[in-house]
Each structure stands twice: as structure tokens, then as C-alpha cells.
Amino acid sequence: MRWKHRPEGSNWGDFGPDDELGRLNLLTPDKVLQGVAEVREGRSFCLSLPLDYPGGNALNRLRHAPRRFTSGRGDKLNYNFALNRINPSFTDVVSDDAVLLYTQYSTQWDALSHVGSLFDADGDGESEPLYYNGWRAGEDIQGPAGHEDVLEGVNAQRLGIEKMAETAVSGRAVLIDLERHCGHERVLVDYARLQQIMQADGVVVEPGDMVCLYTGFADVILSMNRQPDADTLASSCAVLDGRDPALLQWITDSGLSLLIADNYAVEAYPAREGQGCCAALPLHEHCLFKLGIHLGELWYLTELAQYLRAAGRNRFMLTAPPLRLPGAVGSPVTPVALV
């Protein structure tokens, strides 16, 4: 083992000493079949925002909208390029493009290498930066040698997003409709409030289920037409209270495999003030670092939520693999729901 002690409340080692999937291990063939059983009408829903939303960088100043470009082809750009320039006999017209893409700008998955924590895994009194299952920063998740922005040669040799992609991320999902009960008001949802909402709507989460939280936040983003107002976003829609220990314990006990929301960060950020040294993102720490639960953010759940609300349902089939991009700590995703 790479560690002598694991964090309190973690599942390190439960899926094996070299595990890189975390709770994705619970997406078994049986869980996929449970998802298939929820497909009754053959309807599908795209659960991704356009990837140039939210627009600007009001949500996160370090992340920017996609930038598209193309390469040159002789003295012309390789876009609307008529091949008769090369050979008068050719009739083809071709276009190629490329994208500079921040992997967590819009609808996204967090890899388990996205957020770690300082922890004394050796019991020698010295904390070190670690990630899920004890994989080490600088050794298993390599960083740049200096302060340059270009990360050539930098990657997560362990816990990269490609590990998630290889599972195909398919199975049964459950939607919890926070918007139905909270509207677009900014409220912290703790364990008690979440259970009240789930009981009112007859929502049951079983081990291996993927859980989606519809808050209406993506609707607010779309209404701003790529010109988001930071103050409005900060005061809109329900968010989970990551400081509530009962809520974190429910995430542990429920056995959910993935946690997804249509908002930024799933939890309130900044979180409520903690005591002493603590995580700035306590739910991220609990899910990504301790339990190996990938987080989905900024999903578009509106049309699906409206359908499920009208149909009196809350379960559906979900398929949502990220890009198979080795070493990435996050990825855009175009999830598909089937009902």
C-alpha cells in the first residue's frame, strides 16, 4: 500500500489498492440494465449546454470560452478550401478547425485528479498533497516544473479522465427536482431539506444510482446570452450545503455512484465558514478525495426535469462518457438521457 492511514470516512482501498475509478465501480451491468428498464418511450434529451456558455469568465476568472481557429494551407486558410486549387479536376470543398478548450468551462466532469487534499497518510506528522486512494501529487499527478501556463508533458498519470471514459458511464440515474421546491431563490440545501424534498417527490436513491440535481441555474445562465452577471449568478438557485456533516454522510451511505448538478460546483462556493483548517470545497473533498465520486457541473437538465415532472417520474437512463483524453483532470461532456 502507498499509505498507512486513510482519511476518516474515506473508502480508500475498498476497491483495491490501485483503484482509479472510485464509486464508478458501482456502475455494474445490473445497474446498466436497471437504466435500460427506465426507457419506455424512446425519447432522448441532450443534457449539455452549448460549450461556449456561460460566456466570459464571471463564474471562474481562470477559465475562458472556447477559441476556434484553423491552420493555413499554402497561402489560404484550410476552411472553405476548394481542392481545385491543388488539382483542377477536384470538386471538393473542405473545412478543418481546431479548438482551444478549457476542459471545465461549461458542461463538464471533474476527474478524481481535479481536487485532492493535504493529509498525513504515513503517520509521520507531515501532511502531503494527495488525491483519491492515496495517489500522490508530483509523482502520480505531475505538475509543471515552474510557473509557466503551458503544461506540455504535464498530466495525471493516475486518476485521469480517460479512466472514467473507459467505463462508458452508463446506467440508471435519478433526478432530484430542487427547482420545483426552491424556485430560483439562492438557498443552502442541507440534509434535512434534501430529505424533505426527496420524500415529497417519492425519490429513492439506491447504490450505484447516478444522482442529478436540477436547480434552474443553467436556465439563468442561458437567459444571459453569454454575458453573465456575477452578482446575479451568486444569488441564484439552490446549492448543496457542503459544510453539513449529515449531508456528507448521506452521500456516503446512499451509495450513489456519481453526483451531478446544473449549477457551478454542485455545492455552495464559497462554502459556509468552517472551523480551523478545512477544505474550501468540503463536498469536493468528500466526493473526489475521500470517496472517489466524480462530480458533474453545469449540466442542462431543464427539458428532462420538465418531462419527468409531468410524467410523475424521477428515474431515467443516462449515458455520459467524457472525452477519452489521457491525463486530463476534467472534460466537457454531452450527456444523453433516455426515457
> Would residue 210 count as lying in a domain?
yes
Q: How many domains does the chain have?
A: 2
> Would residue 10 count as lying in a domain?
no
> Does the predicted model carry a pTM greater than 0.85?
yes
Q: How many residues does the chain have?
A: 339
Question: What pLDDT is attached to residue 142?
Answer: 83
Question: What pLDDT is attached to residue 144?
Answer: 66
pLDDT, block means (10 residues), the chain with 339 residues: 93 97 98 98 98 92 92 90 95 95 96 96 94 94 65 74 98 98 96 98 98 98 94 95 97 98 95 83 97 98 98 98 96 98
User: Domain limits at 92?
Assistant: 67-100
Main-chain dihedrals φ then ψ at residue 188, nearest 5 degrees: -85, 125
> Would residue 8 count as lying in a domain?
no
Q: Same structural domain for residues 86 and 33?
A: no
* CB contact at 8 A, 177 and 200: no
* CATH code where residue 188 lies: 3.50.30.50
Question: What pLDDT is attached to residue 124?
Answer: 92
> Would residue 311 count as lying in a domain?
yes
Q: Same structural domain for residues 96 and 109?
A: no
Q: Same structural domain for residues 167 and 315?
A: yes
> Would residue 293 count as lying in a domain?
yes
What percentage of the chain's residues is helix, strand, coil (to nearest 5)? 25, 20, 55
3-class DSSP assignment, residue 92: coil
> Would residue 145 count as lying in a domain?
no
* CB contact at 8 A, 239 and 272: no
Nearby residues of 247 by Cβ (< 8 Å), 6 or more positions away: 189, 190, 191, 194, 240, 241, 283
Question: What pLDDT is attached to residue 300?
Answer: 98
Q: Distance (Å, rounded) from C-alpha 117 to C-alpha 251?
A: 19
Q: Distance (Å, rounded) from C-alpha 71 to C-alpha 108?
A: 27
> Would residue 274 count as lying in a domain?
yes
Question: What pLDDT is attached to residue 25?
Answer: 98
Question: What pLDDT is attached to residue 274?
Answer: 78
Amino acid 205 reads: V
Question: What pLDDT is attached to residue 146?
Answer: 54
Determine if the peptide bond prior to 54 is cis (ω within 30°). yes
Element (H, E) at 213: strand 210-214
